[in-house]
Structure 1
Amino acid sequence: MALNNTYDARLVQQETAVGAGVQILLLALLGTAIGMGPAGWLTGLAFAVATWAVLSRALHRTRPRSFGPANRVTLGRATLVGGVTALVADSFESSPPVTALVGLTAVALILDGVDGKVARATNTSTPLGARFDMEVDAFLILVLSVYVSMEFGPWVLLIGGMRYGFVAAARVWPWLNAELPPSMARKTVAAMQGICLLLSASGYLPSTASLTVVLIALASLTWSFGRDVRWLHRNSRVQDAEVAEILELAAEEREAVAS
């Protein structure tokens, strides 16, 4: 049994290494096609190394028996996001290849709904897989917001940074870490962000329409986060009240026993 577990662990690590290799291959293809500069190359390579390192550490900690088909889809999406990241970084030095940027982003967004279905169909859903999927989504939104902010201003970064701000706030207020109830509205708003930012980044819309789309994305995301924070705050107060009531009853019992 120990030998099988070791073999599976090595196989899982090999898959993450293959993912990093595919990322480098994609960068090479982009570099050949568009003549990507140093900023794009360095950013893309940094993304590949960071993804491999973080994912390898998470896999070592959770020790799954196999990487799983759903995680392979998510890793493929991460590779596409790495390409988008490299293109956005390169756009600071030269005119961005909008077609390549839109194409990679569109495929990554389409595949966003595939990995979850694969996980459910193959009964391979795991907390690590869900977290991996969420982090890839969040980083893509951040990168797209950086790109769009070059046209409309730094306020667009609020779209990409809101989730990371929430995570940072949860370190200060632990009640934000409580599990939220399922919400179709939350899922819809999250899916809207990538679509809206992609429409704006594509350049296919007039400037006014593009700005309107981004404002709608920011407004809906602010509403969604605000609603969740209010629910978490109310939930934490209810839990605090329940704990206080239990402690009070326990104290009364001790006093009754003592008397």
Structure 2
Amino acid sequence: MITRAQYSTVAVVPELAAGMAAQLLLLAGLGGFIGLGPAGWLTGTAFALVLGVLLASAMHRSRSCALGPADLVTFARAVLVGGVAALVIDRFGTAQPGPVFVALASVALALDAVDGRVARRTGTVSARGARFDMEVDAFLILMLSVQVALAHGWWVFAIGAMRYVFAAAAWALPWLRAALPASVARKTVAALQGIVLVVAGSGLLPDAAAVAVTAGALAALAWSFGRDIGWLWRRQSQSRRLNNAYNAPAMSRIATVDVMKPDH
């Protein structure tokens, strides 16, 4: 007899297999249209495998039986991101990414505005879906920052690495894991990163302009992360003060009793 937890993993296998097939078809299309070497094939295939394993694990933990409509949009976007990653690694060292790279990245960015809307309209908003969307976004920004860094300097890589550095710091500092309040500014800054990186890496702007807009995007991202870290620090400090204030009377009473004890 298949338990509910086991069924959730079994049920999603066809969807994961379809995603893997779509990734391989995209890689084959890239190989036939512009040429894709072993590094690109390996990168795209590895991305699809890791994505499938992580998604299956998340489905198992949440006891979900299928991907929702918004998840399928995010999954389609992830396939495009796999193509972007394959091109970045395959063309590593090439300053100009080419129109196919720009097209894939642009469609992936455009679909980022679709999955959230689909989730809200269908009533399928979930923490797992939000995390899935966030991880796909983060990896796309990482790949775009690598590509732009090849042309304008490795300081650009900080845009893609910042989120992962923050996540690593959160393992050592638990107070960084607290939930942040919703922020339009945070969402706007995050959305601008991908747009700026695609434009800067497309070769449509003069080098000086590309560097300027990328530096502006990095500054905005640093401000956004700094603001959030400051909020989390103040929240942690406030919680600590409240805990100390709550425990202080009890500690004072204990100290008073100890003082009043007769000597033996």
Q: Quote the RMSD (CA, aligned, Å).
A: 2.0
Mapped to 2, the partners of 1:51 and 1:209 lie a distance apart of 35
Structure 2 match to 1:44: 44
Amino acid at match of 1:162: M
Structure 1 match to 2:151: 151
Amino acid at match of 2:206: P
For structure 2, the residue ranges without an aligned partner over 5 or more in a row are none
Structure 2 match to 1:202: 202
| More displaced 10-residue stretch of structure 1: 195-204 or 63-72 | 63-72
- Give the SS at the match of 1:49: helix
- Give the SS at the match of 2:23: helix
Q: How far did 1:38 drift?
A: 1.1
Cα 1:247/1:161, change in 2 over 3 Å: same
Amino acid at match of 2:123: N
CA contact (8 A) 1:145 1:160 kept: yes
- Give the SS at the match of 1:181: coil
**Number of equivalenced pairs:** 259
CA contact (8 A) 1:80 1:108 kept: yes
Amino acid at match of 2:231: W
Cα 1:20/1:111, change in 2 over 3 Å: same
2:115 maps to 1:112: no
Cα 1:123/1:2, change in 2 over 3 Å: farther
Cα 1:97/1:182, change in 2 over 3 Å: closer
Q: How far did 1:3 drift?
A: 7.3
- Give the SS at the match of 1:233: helix
For structure 1, the residue ranges without an aligned partner over 5 or more in a row are none
Cα 1:196/1:93, change in 2 over 3 Å: closer
CA contact (8 A) 2:95 2:150 kept: no
CA contact (8 A) 1:88 1:96 kept: no
Mapped to 1, the partners of 2:254 and 2:118 lie a distance apart of 54
Structure 2 match to 1:131: 131
Mapped to 2, the partners of 1:257 and 1:16 lie a distance apart of 65
Q: How far did 1:138 drift?
A: 0.3
Q: How far did 1:10 drift?
A: 2.2
Mapped to 2, the partners of 1:257 and 1:119 lie a distance apart of 59
CA contact (8 A) 1:175 1:233 kept: yes
Structure 1 match to 2:216: 216
Amino acid at match of 2:243: V
Q: Residue by residue, what CA displacement relative to the aligned partner does 1:160-187 show, whole Å, maximum 9, x if unpaired? A: 0000000011111111111111110000
Cα 1:249/1:222, change in 2 over 3 Å: same
- Give the SS at the match of 2:21: helix
Q: How far did 1:252 drift?
A: 4.3
Q: How far did 1:251 drift?
A: 3.1
Mapped to 1, the partners of 2:256 and 2:35 lie a distance apart of 81
Q: Residue by residue, what CA displacement relative to the aligned partner does 1:2-61 show, whole Å, maximum 9, x if unpaired? A: 678765542222211211111111101111111111111111111111111111111112
Cα 1:125/1:143, change in 2 over 3 Å: same
Structure 1 match to 2:242: 242
Structure 1 match to 2:191: 191
Amino acid at match of 1:157: F
- Give the SS at the match of 1:129: helix
Structure 2 match to 1:79: 79
| More displaced 10-residue stretch of structure 1: 102-111 or 84-93 | 84-93
- Give the SS at the match of 2:231: helix
- Give the SS at the match of 1:18: helix
Structure 1 match to 2:231: 231
Structure 2 match to 1:169: 169
- Give the SS at the match of 1:64: coil
